[in-house]
Chain A
């Protein structure tokens, strides 16, 4: 077991494409770190650099205090789980799991013992003599995990190991992998593009975009205090609503205005956020879908909207809304993996399962003004005080 440290790591490919820029990140002993981000954000490259499958252009990676930049993959004492499992087709499950030990000339009795132990943890004992092709997707995934476990390595590296599984199995394996990682207490880097996996599995989550680390935090902190528009839009499903609004001062209060709607902000935002420079100009304000509810008598901030679309998910209803005048709604960057600011997103509210809404209905919404987020309209950076320090 060991700590993994990225110290100003850079990866530039021979063609000049930079996949990872100035990455500094420390994964503690026993920690489950999730690297998350859209395709091409550099998360897999970062993982492969730890494994030694990609060379590092600049900076250092150390495992257990030893810089491994020039250490061969086989000498790094890490185990990797691949997206397509990469099981050896000509070997049985047991042979697959014990192969790394066999290569290292571990005595056969010891290999058998460790394979049996891992098989028990993974509930694979009855499949040890089968070939991978005779297994289901979930079983193959468990064998891939088993191959990593028997090594008793310093660290686990997992590259989107659940992405080939169907939805139900993915949920099962999510808890299974978390359980095993907690049981073994080995530092783990887990790469995924699925923010649900990131939120549910990681002790901490590192969000990447375009080769740059955006934010590292616990899942809840990431959700509650995103450091920029990208993280705000990427974490959460459905993502945070981001609206460009004018900000001005009226009767000593800050007032947001977009379309024909106005929101008077609680005074607390003056002290918690640096909104001063934006007064008289524009600001991006964000609100989570669950902070928009059908208005009750107690709501101070009310918005009038029309329901364009309604999705009933059983446990909740999602209402996609328009404010008559769409001006101000930011196209969601994070949702558009193929490039920033491509797709328009509507404002979405997460309503209770019994909420009585239907398409075309005019509704009045109550806005939970205590949980608003503010971002600079140009840079997208959070205007919350101390947000910048919270980056990593």
Chain B
């Protein structure tokens, strides 16, 4: 015998099911957030302890923060990281935007092949080219000074930027470019006055991703920034950790200082980042 279910009962059941599903997703996300944020929490708490308090497991002090600013040139290192990051990202953006626009909108022989070559450079890991890269940079005498590291970071980040900007500009209708040309612009004018303002989400995406990558990188800084006065914050922290008497609270304070700028940049550009990363999906 079959049972007939009234439509209103079915509606109530499906609404309840939706609520339960949403609650389950919410709980899962809360758990994930706790897992992700816990290290930051530990970092924050432990940074406000002396070494003895850390070992004892209770008590608070600002001593480690004071030590951080006196035992290592943390402000200079933050400045160094900022200089290297800014210069590298500027190069990546300028090259990426121009190359991306050219690959997407200008027709020329072997264009696709060159694009493929550029993009395939994304697959090459840094470790594989580190030694020859070092030899090259050293030959030019660029290991003392920011330029060597800036060029290496720019070279590593540009392929992804070109890929992203090409994908982005391919979505801009040709008619828009042609309308600009009819309105009196040349290709440069179209790029700077029309295409670039439209590419802000892509610019934000590249900026955030590259900032996080370059700011957090240790290897390139360690090798290509050999002058102690030009060391970035990551190398400074590594030196702190490698010392004979490593102070965990001080290391935590340093790590927090190091992590904060990347987090601020990420949160600031987050809105664009989501739009930028999903490029091409809604085609």
Chain A residues at the B interface, C-beta cutoff of 8 Å: 51-53, 72-74, 78-80, 82-84, 86, 88-90, 99-100, 103-104, 147
Taking A53-B182, A84-B173, A103-B185 as known contacts, 20 extra A-B pairs with beta carbons closer than 8 A to each other, sorted by chain A number, are A51-B182, A52-B181, A53-B181, A73-B181, A74-B182, A74-B184, A74-B185, A80-B178, A84-B175, A86-B173, A86-B175, A86-B176, A86-B178, A88-B179, A88-B194, A89-B198, A90-B198, A100-B183, A104-B184, A147-B183
Q: Which residue of B lies closest to A73 (CB)?
A: B181
Q: How far is the CA of A89 from the CA of B182 in the complex (A)?
A: 17
Residues in B with CB closer than 8 Å to A99 are: 183
In whole angstroms, how far apart are the Cα atoms of A51 and B180 in the complex? 12
A-contact bits for B82-118, CB 8 A (1 contact / 0 none): 0000000000000000000000000000000000000
Of B173, B176, B181, B184, most A-chain CB atoms within 10 Å: B184
Report the bound CA distance from A104 to B197 in whole Å: 20
Contacts of B193 in A (CB 8 A): 103
A100 to B181, CA, bound (A): 10
Q: Is B186 an interface residue (CB 8 A)?
A: yes
Chain B 149-180 near chain A by CB (<8 Å), digits 1 or 0: 00000000000000000000000010110111
Q: List 22 A-B contacts (CB under 8 A).
A: A51-B182, A53-B178, A53-B182, A72-B186, A74-B181, A78-B182, A79-B182, A80-B179, A83-B175, A84-B173, A84-B175, A86-B173, A86-B176, A86-B178, A88-B179, A88-B180, A90-B197, A90-B198, A99-B183, A100-B183, A103-B184, A103-B193
CA distance A100 to B185 in the complex (A): 8
Q: Which residues of A contact B173 (CB under 8 A)?
A: 84, 86
Quick one: which of A73, A83, A84, A88 contacts B182, CB cutoff 8 A?
Answer: A73
**Size of the chain B interface, CB-CB below 8 angstroms:** 17
B189 contacts A by Cβ under 8 Å: yes
Q: If A51-B182, A80-B182, A103-B184 touch, does A88 touch B176 (CB 8 Å cutoff)? A: yes
In the assembly, what is the distance between CA of A78 and CA of B182, in Å? 7
Collect the chain A residues with CB atoms within 8 Å of residue B184's CB: 74, 100, 103-104
A53 to B186, CA, bound (A): 12
CA distance A86 to B176 in the complex (A): 5
Contact A103 B181 (CB under 8 A): no
How far apart sit A90 and B176, CA to CA, in the bound complex (Å)?
Answer: 12
In the docked arrangement, what's the CA distance between A89 and B175, Å?
Answer: 13
* Across-interface contacts of B179 in A (CB, < 8 A): 80, 82, 86, 88, 147
| Bound Cα distance A78, B184 (Å) | 10
Residues of A within 8 A of B185 (CB): 74, 103
- CB nearest neighbor in B for A148: B182
Docked Cα-Cα span, A7 to B183, in Å, equals: 26
Q: Which of B181, B183, B184 has the most CB of A within 10 A?
A: B183
Chain B residue nearest to A104 (CB atoms) is B184
Flag if A103 contacts B178 (CB, 8 Å): no
Q: Which of B192-208 contact A (CB under 8 A)?
A: 193-194, 197-198
Q: Across the interface, do B178 and A82 meet the contact criterion of CB distance under 8 Å?
A: yes
**Chain B neighbourhood of A52, CB < 8 A:** 181
Using CB atoms, name the residue of chain B closest to A81: B179
Q: Determine how close the nearest CB of chain B comes to the CB of A163; give it in whole angstroms.
A: 13
Give the distance in Å from the alpha carbon of A74 to the alpha carbon of B178 in the complex. 10
3 closest A-B pairs by CB: A100-B183, A86-B175, A86-B179
Q: CA of A51 to CA of B189 in the docked complex: distance in angstroms?
A: 18
- CB neighbours (8 Å) of B198 from chain A are 89-90
Partner of A103, one of B175, B176, B189, B197: B189
The residue in chain B whose Cβ has the minimal distance to the Cβ of A100 is B183
- Quote the shortest CB–CB distance from A79 to chain B (angstroms): 7
Chain B residue contacts of A100, Cβ below 8 A: 182-184
- Closest B-chain residue to A14, C-beta based? B107
- CA–CA, A100 and B183, complex, Å: 5
User: How many Å lie between the Cα of A37 and that of B33 in the bound state?
Assistant: 61
